[in-house]
Amino acid sequence: MIRENGHKHVVGSSLLALVFLAVWAPAQTTHYPPDGDQIPGPDCLNPIKPSAGQPKICAPEDYKAWLEDITHWRMEARVRAGYSGQEYERPELKWTQSSFIQPQMMVEDRFFYDSGTGHYTVDRYLDDLEKRYGGIDSVLIWPVYPNIGIDNRNQYDMVRALPGGVAGVKQMVADFHRRGVKVLFPFMPWDQGTRDIGTANWEATAELMAEVGADGINGDTLRGIPRAFRTASDAVGHPLALEPEHAFPAPFEALAWNNMEWGYWQYPNAPMVSAFKWLEPRHMVNVCDRWNHSKVDNLQYAFFNGVGYESWENIWGIWNQITPRDAEALRRVAAIERATASFLVSPEWQPYTQTEQAGIFASRWPQGKATLWTMVNRTQYDIDGRELRLPVQAGMHYLDLWHGAELAPEADEGNLFLSFSIEAHGFGAILATADAPDVALQKLLTEMKQLSARPLSSYSAEWTFAPQKMVSSEKTRAASTAPDGMVRVPAGEFTFKVDGIELEGFNDVGVDVQYPWENSSRRHHLHRLHIDSFWIDRYPVTNAEFKKFLDATHYHPKDDVNFLRDWQNDTYPSGWDRRPVTWVSLEDARAYAAWEGKRLPHEWEWQYSGQGGDGRLYPWGNSWDVAAVPVPEKGRKLRGPDPVDAHPKGASPFGVEDLIGNVWQWTDEFVDEHTRGGILRGGSYYQPQGSVWYFPPAYRLDQHGKLLLMAPSKDRAGTLGFRCVKDAQ
C-alpha cells in the first residue's frame, strides 16, 4: 500500500498494470491480466474514440472468448499458487463468506460508548445502523491510530486501555455477538517503535484476541496477513479470520489462508471483476472507498461481484455519513445478498452474462437447478423492457427479487425473455427456480416489494458534513494581583493562525475542528480576535502541585485506569516533584483547575501567551534552538519529562516557560454528534520511530494536535499534562 498526503491509496492503475504485466507476461498468456486486484471486462465494452471508427457492439462470441481467457488464467494462477481451498471449508470461518457489510468503527464514536455513564452502548450503535441502512454483519473495532504514539503504549496496550480493560472488552464483544455481528480488531505491522511486547506479534495478537473473544483481525497496510497468524491463532484454540487491507501479490499464495480482504478498486463504466473472488468464489472482499461521498460505484461493483461493502463513516474522527440515497441502496443490496449468500459462492459464477440492453451488466450464479442474476444499471436513465434472454425450461418460477414480484416470461423464437425495470444507477436481482418460494424467500419478496415501492431516486443524494461545537468553559473569578506561580498576559488584538496536523483528510470539510466563528470544521484556521487579559501558569502543573490537590480533596476518578500511572503508593517517583504531572485525563485536569479557582486555557490564549503579538514560530523566536527544549526520546521506553524549569531559553515574550517539547498540554474540547476531540498544544519529548503513522509532533506555535477522546482510561497518556489560566481584572 502507498499512502499519499495522508490518505491511503491504491497504486495508480497504469503502474499496477505494468507491474502485473511484468509478472505475468513472460509466463502466462492472457489478454486480460489483472489490473491491481481487478480483471477488466471484454474489450468490446471499452469506449472507443470517434477517430477510431464505429464502436464495436459486444456479441455473444466476445463474452465467450473473454470468459475462456480469464478461466484459463484462473486455472494456471491456482497452480502457480499451489492453491488449496481447505481454509474455506472450516466451519468456524464460514461466516466470512456472508460477511457482506462491515464498517470500521472508531472506539471514540459516541454511539458506541457513552462517556457520561461510562458504558459501552453496542445496542445504540447497531440500532442506528439498522435504521439508516439495514445493519451490519461484522465490525472492525479500531482503538489505535491516530492516537497511537502519543506515548509508548503499543497496539495491544491500546486495547487493554479500553474502558473495563480486557474483561470490559470481552463483554462488549459478547454484546455484538448477541446481535449476530462478528468482531475484528486491527493489527499494525508498523507498530515497532512503541513498547516492545516481548514476543512475536502473531503470538501476542492470537492471545489477546482469544482473551477478548474476537473473531478476526484486519491487517493494516498488509498485502496478505502472514501464515504465522493463522498458525498462532490455531495453536491457542481460537482460530481467527484474517483480513488484509490490500490485495495479495502474485502468485497469490496468501489467498489460501486470508479468507477476507478489502478492495480499493477503480471504477470504469463497465464493472471490473474481483480477481480474488474469481480465483476463489468463497473469498470475501469488502469494497472500501471511505473518503468518497457517493457510494454508487462501490455498491454497484460489490453487487455485480457478489461481494461486500466497508460501510465506514467515522474516518479517524472525521464523519463521512452515507447519504440517504446510498444508505437505502445499501439496505436493499445487503438484504438480497444475505438471502442469496449460498448462490454468491458458486464455483460456476459467470460475470458478464449477456443482457439485452446496453448499460445493464449482470453476473450469473448457478446453484443446482436454480440460478441467481445480480444486475446493475450503469447509465444515468431508467431502463425498462426485456432484460434477460433465457432458454425455455418448463416449471420454472422467475422471481424479481429487487421488486418482490414473480415475473411472467415472454416466449419468442424459442427463447424466454424477462422484462422488468432497473432505475438509473440502480440494481436488479432475478432468481430462476423450479421450487415455489419457501418461507424465507417469501419474507424477502415481501420486504423488497415494500422497499422498492419507493425508488432510490426519491431519496436525497446530497452529502453534508457534521457540524462541531467547542465545549464552553466558565470564566473564573477575576484576579487583580498575581496568583502564585502565574504570569499576566495583557489584553490585545491577536491574529490566531493555526493548522491541524492530522495525517489524513487533506483540507476536506470536516477535518480538524470548527471554531465558534467558523461555519464548518477545516484544517487551516485564521482569525483576528480580541483577547482579554488573563493570568497563565508560568509552568505546567507539576507532580508536587497535583499531589497537594489530591491530599486536600481526596480526588479519585471513577474511571481510574492509567490514572497517575507513573506514581506508586499515592506519590510520584523520587526527584519528580518539579516534573509536569502526566497520566491525567481532561476530566482530571479540569478538576484540578476548578480546585485552584482556575480553568484550562483556550487554545488561542495558550498560543498568544507563547507568540505575543509577532506571530513567531517558537516561544523564543523563529529559529529552532535545541537548547530550549528537552532532548527527544526516540527509543521504546518513556524516560519521563524534564523538570518544568530546566529550559529557561524556551521562555516566551511574556515569560511563560516549558510551552513546547516537554509534554503536550490540554486546552479546548470539540464535539460533534459522533466524536469528541481534545486539542493538544506544545508537543512532547517522546517521538517513536519507524513509522509516519504515529501521533505527529507539533513543536510550532501555529500547529496543534487533536486527540480523539473516548474515556479517561484511554485518553490519559504518559506525555500529556496541562497548565491553567485565571481571568484578570
Burial classification of residue 626, based on how many CB atoms lie within 10 Å of its CB (0-12 exposed, 13-18 middle, 19 or more buried) = exposed
The total of structural domains in the chain comes to: 2
C-alpha cell at 377: 444499471
Asked if residue 243 is part of any domain, the answer here is: yes
Lowest-confidence segment of 44-58, 225-239, 443-457 by average pLDDT: 44-58
- pLDDT at 25 exceeding the cut of 90: no
Backbone angles phi, psi at 107, to 5 degrees: -65, -20
Going by pLDDT thresholds of 50, 70 and 90, the confidence category of residue 54 is low
For the residues 358-386, what does the mean pLDDT come to?
Answer: 97
Helix axes 201-212, 227-235, angle to 10 degrees: 50
* Inside any domain, residue 267: yes
Alpha carbon distance 482, 728 (integer Å): 9
Q: pLDDT (tens digit, 9 = 90+) per residue, 240-252?
A: 999 999 999 999 9
What's the pLDDT at 51? Answer: 61
Per-residue pLDDT reduced to its tens digit, 173-184: 999 999 999 999
Instruction: Look at residue 722 and tell me if it is in a domain.
Output: yes
Q: What is the band of 3 on the pLDDT scale with cuts at 50, 70, 90?
A: very low
User: How confident is the model over 290-317, as pLDDT tens digits?
Assistant: 999 999 999 999 999 999 999 999 999 9
Residue 58 lies in a domain: no
Instruction: For residues 542-554, give the mean pLDDT.
Output: 98
612 pLDDT more than 60:
yes
Can you tell me the mean pLDDT for 89-101? 98
Residue 58 confidence class, pLDDT cut points 50, 70, 90: confident
pLDDT greater than 90 at residue 10: no
Q: Does residue 4 lie within any of the structural domains?
A: no
User: The domain spanning residue 327 has which CATH number?
Assistant: 3.20.20.80
CB-CB contact of 134 with 177 (8 Å): no
Using pLDDT thresholds of 50, 70 and 90, give the confidence band for residue 227. Answer: very high
Separation between Cα atoms, residue 55 and residue 74, nearest integer Å: 29
Q: Let me know whether 535 and 677 are in one domain.
A: yes
Average pLDDT over residues 420-438: 96
Chosen domain end from 299, 319, 337: 337
Which is nearest to 152 in space by CA: 683, 695, 532?
695
Helices (H), 140-293: 155-160, 165-178, 201-212, 227-235, 275-279
- Quick: pLDDT tens for 311-337: 999 999 999 999 999 999 999 999 999
Instruction: Tell me the HSE value of 565 on the side-chain side, using a 13 A CA sphere.
Output: 23
The answer to whether the CB of 487 falls within 8 A of the CB of 477 is no
Query: Reduced to 3 states, what is the DSSP secondary structure of residue 709?
Result: strand
| Distance between CA atoms of residues 662 and 679, nearest Å | 16
Q: In CATH, what number is assigned to the domain containing residue 680? A: 3.90.1580.10
Of 337, 372, 402, which residue sits at a domain end? 337
Domain boundary among 337, 369, 384: 337
Q: Is the pLDDT assigned to residue 19 strictly greater than 60?
A: no
pLDDT above 50 for 6: no
Query: Structural domain of residue 650, as residue ranges?
Result: 469-727
Decide: helix, strand or coil at residue 38. Answer: strand
- Mean pLDDT, the chain, as a whole number? 94
Confidence of residue 413 (pLDDT cuts 50, 70, 90): confident
Contacts of 30 (CB under 8 A, 6+ apart): 24, 69, 70, 72, 73
Q: Is 417 left (phi over 0), alpha (psi -120 to 50) or beta?
A: beta
Q: If you average pLDDT over residues 162-173, what whole number do you get?
A: 97
Q: How many CB atoms lie within 10 A of CB 616?
A: 18
Q: What one-character DSSP code corresponds to residue 485?
A: T
Q: Is residue 102 part of a domain?
A: yes
* 411: in domain: no
Mean pLDDT over residues 181-190, rounded? Answer: 98
For residue 16, pLDDT over 70 is answered with no
Q: 392 near 415, Cβ under 8 Å?
A: yes
SS3 content of the chain, % helix, strand, coil (to 5): 25, 25, 50
Percentage of residues in the chain having pLDDT higher than 90: 92
612 assigned to some structural domain: yes
